[in-house]
Each structure stands twice: as structure tokens, then as C-alpha cells.
Chain A
């Protein structure tokens, strides 16, 4: 079975994003970019499935600008076998990404797509679900555990207040949550070897996908600063306020 893992190049999770002064977006030029952390988890899971003998090949795909090549290299250094770079604008919308991935599916015919549950830049949390919808496949979103057996994949999903197990027919789409695994480091020898692994470069339009945005950004602003509240004199007063004013206890 082949596994395809889409990976996104995003502003590194250590960087505090800065809203541009003109409100047109978040500053990304000259900012450190890295692989979306949830995508790292997805790559790790795919590589583990290959190491267990469940998967035969792991293909990583990134859709975006040329520099996404670095992200693909990192994924290959973690153990992915080869990469596909689909050139488009930076950070395309989930709908367009899902359509590109659907086209990749026709080309690659994988048994499983594993995606990160969301990208930490636009926080959409949609691509995996949308891809599954377009393909008519089952979706195991927010996965905390993945087991492949007997032509099905069993996914333990993180839901409000617990977990839910679902069983999906293969092929299927899985999206990785934080606790699925702890991704490995891309070691230096593996990074060096990854330079020799193949990357195929395509253009979104060659795949026949319309990348036109459906959402236009009107403005981006920093959230309002929290204001200091009141100091209370006693525990009794605090409890009274929490009960009757804030109504949280």
C-alpha cells in the first residue's frame, strides 16, 4: 500500500506572528518557515507504517511556492521515499488543495492519505475532510491512534471529552492530531541522503485545478489586548464575583 502525505510550509511555530501595519495579513517575508507540526506527525505515522511493513511507499506532496521544496526535503529526511511539488501561490485554500490532492490520487492511487489535522497558519482544519468528501472515502479525523488491518483502518479519534473509534474501508483519509506520535528528528545523514531522493515538480494548472480563491481577506488585525480587571479584598468576595458576576462556578 502506498501512503500519500501532504505537507505544508508555514511560519515556524516558535515565531510570534506579526500583523502587518497595513492590516493586509501576517508578515511572512524573512520569517522562519518550517513544516506544519501536524504534518510532521502525519509523515512520522506514514513512515512508521512503512517500517512496520504495512505501507510500501511514502510519497509527500506540497502545494505552494518553490521554497516548499525545503519542507519536502525535511519529510524525505524523516523517511518519505519521494516528493511531488505542485507549484501555486503561497498558502492556497483547502478546497483548492483538496482538488489538487484528488488529482494526485488519480496519478498515485494510494491506499491512504494521512494529513495533519490543520495548518497552524490559517487554522482551517478542513483539507482532510474535504479530500475525503471529494473522493467519497471514509475519514478518520483528529487521529490519536491508527491501525491498519484486513483492508480497513481503525482510527481512534480525539473528540470532546474523550475518544471515538471508527473503522474505515480502505482507501481512506486520516488526519493526525497531536498525540498520534512524537515525530523523529531529521538527522543530518538523512538530510544529506534526502537530497538524492527524487522530487517531481508539477503546476496546479497542469492538473486542471482552478486555484481561484473563494475567500478574500478583507483585513487582518491583532486581537484586542485584555484589560486589567479588579482586585478583590477577600476570598469571600472572589467567590461571590465568580458565582454572580462572571457566572463561571
Chain B
């Protein structure tokens, strides 16, 4: 069996989540990858160990990974593959369902675990449940969640690169512009690191103690509902069941007791650090690393230690 992986990239580099998609696909069989865009990316793809072949589509219509031409290209190539795979990135989520429809296949989005060639595990209800589903489609189309699979190594392979013929462009869409966020503070929901404060921050003024640390980590700032209710920060900072649901690589909780509403909003973070003066605080039940102590001493010390 052979899988075709759409390898999406940004500014000439293969996205890390796409490398995870390669790992997922390799659990299913041989892996071919499709690179639409720059030849440098195709060369990088050829170096990924485990990739048997790189399909390179260089035509200008693929430059911005627009869904309409890219889905058409995938469909034109799909005949030889048992699975079409991509990362559940903005590109993968945009392109693959369209391609699936054209192939008359029901896609399987956000796969976190592969049971066998027919059977996949995916979160539903915002991660509150995990569904194991079996597909009866002859061809499987799936996107995989990057955090669930290790990224394939970037070096060590030497796959052949084959240039593919462009498919007919449906010509219904045009790229206009891209605006990458230049704000120093990333968006709470998409930040890699979140620094969050609770009632333990004591006041609106003292809440600012988190900012130098967030700057250092390139982190977004979040807050518990208690901190929002106490007026330390506006509501849009709230992480939790009634606020924003976040799942960063690193979540640092300062002075947050860990009410279940809050936990519901951040429990899927990869690594959780908790600092609280109460050793019994429920947040420690979910934290990978905890420090019992005064956050007003620990936060500046941590900021300093990161220098």
C-alpha cells in the first residue's frame, strides 16, 4: 500500500506538522510526498528518511497552496494511492476535504491514532471524546494532528524527485495577499506558549508581572475566570470552558487553583507547569511540573533564568 502525503510548507520550509503526517502515513505503507511550490522544498522533502518518492508540482498556480487547483492536482494523482494524507493544518484542512469530495470519499479529519488501514481514532466534541471510526471507502483521505505523531527526521533520506504535470486549474480563485501576524504577542488560541494568571495575581497592577516572562517566551497571556471576574484582565483573556480552549506546547499557570472550568480549557496542552502557594491546589493534578511557592518571587526568577 502506498500513501500520498501533501507536504505543506511556509516560507520555503516544510511545516513540522507535515513531517508528523509523514510519520503517520509511514504506519500505513510506503510514502510518496507531494510538494506544490518551490524546488528547494522538494529537495528538502527528498531528504526525509522513509519517503520513497517526491512528486513536485512547480506550476505557478500552486504557489500559494490554494485549495481549488491543489485539490484538482491531488485528484489527478490519486489513482495510484490507497491513502491521501495531510497535516491538519490550515492548508490540509482546506484542501483535503475538497479533494475527498471529488473522489467521492468521506474524509477522516484530525486523526490522532491509526489502528489499522481501515480504522482511525479522532477527537470529537472538542476533544471531550475520542471516536474510533472505520472507513468503508476504497481510498482513505485523512488529515492527522501534528501533536499526535512525532515529526519525521529532516535528514537521512534521498528519494527521487519526479515532476508532475499540472492539473487543469478550475480558475475560480485568486490569491490576493497574506498577512502574517507581526504582533509581538501571539493569539491566545494559536500560541505555542501560554502564560496564564489567576486570582493569585491579586490585582490588575500585579498581573503585569507576567508580561516580561511572556515576552521572553514569545507567549500569549491568558487568565482564569476568577482573574477575569476579579477585573484583573478583560474577558478575552479567559481560558476555560466558557472562554477560549487552548492546547499549546507549553502552558504555564501562575496562581491558578485549577477549577474544572479552567482545566477544561487547557488540559490538552502538551506540557503544563503550575506555580501555586497552595500545595493542594487541583492544578497540580494535571501539571507535569509544579512549584509550590510565591509566584511573585518565582515569575521574576524564571524570567531571569531564561536569559
Contact = CB atoms under 8 A, between A and B. Distances in A.
Given A169-B172, A217-B132, A133 B98 contact: yes
Nearest to A126: B97
Residue of A94, A122, A160 with most partner-chain B CB within 10 A: A160
Contacts of B67: 129, 132, 139, 141
B94 A141 contact: yes
A244 interface: no
B124 A125 contact: no
Given A141-B67, A229-B288, A235-B305, A215 B108 contact: yes
Contacts, number: 236
A16 B129 CA distance: 10
B144 to A, nearest CB: 14
Nearest to A156: B179
B207 interface: no
B249 A126 contact: no
Interface string A234-249: 1110110110001011
A235 B102 CA distance: 54
A129 B175 contact: no
A133 B68 CA distance: 8
Contacts of B264: 16
B177 A165 contact: yes
Given A120-B125, A221-B129, A235 B298 contact: yes
Given A138-B173, A215-B133, A235-B291, A95 B101 contact: yes
A49 to B, nearest CB: 20
B134 A215 contact: yes
Interface stretch (B28-36, B40-48, B50-58, B265-273): B265-273
Residue of B68, B71, B287, B302 with most partner-chain A CB within 10 A: B68
Given A121-B125, A229-B289, A161 B181 contact: yes
Interface in B81-118: 89-91, 93-102, 104-110
Contacts of B1: none
Interface in B183-214: 190, 193
B106 A223 contact: no
B298 A129 contact: no
Nearest to A95: B106
Interface string B236-248: 0000011000000
Interface string A11-46: 100101101000000100000000000000000000
Interface in A145-166: 154, 157-166
Chain A contact-residue range equals 35 or more
B181 A125 contact: no
A162 B125 CA distance: 25
A58 B272 CA distance: 46
Contacts of B176: 154, 165-167
A142 interface: yes
Interface of A: 11, 14, 16-17, 19, 26, 93-95, 98, 120-127, 129-134, 136-139, 141-142, 154, 157-169, 172, 213-223, 226, 228-236, 238-239, 241-242, 246, 248-249
Interface of B: 10, 15, 64, 66-68, 71, 89-91, 93-102, 104-110, 119, 122-137, 170-181, 190, 193, 217, 241-242, 249-250, 264, 267, 270-273, 279, 284-292, 298, 301-302, 305-306
17 contacts: A123-B124, A129-B95, A130-B107, A158-B90, A160-B89, A162-B181, A164-B177, A166-B173, A215-B134, A217-B132, A218-B119, A218-B133, A222-B130, A235-B298, A235-B305, A238-B291, A246-B270
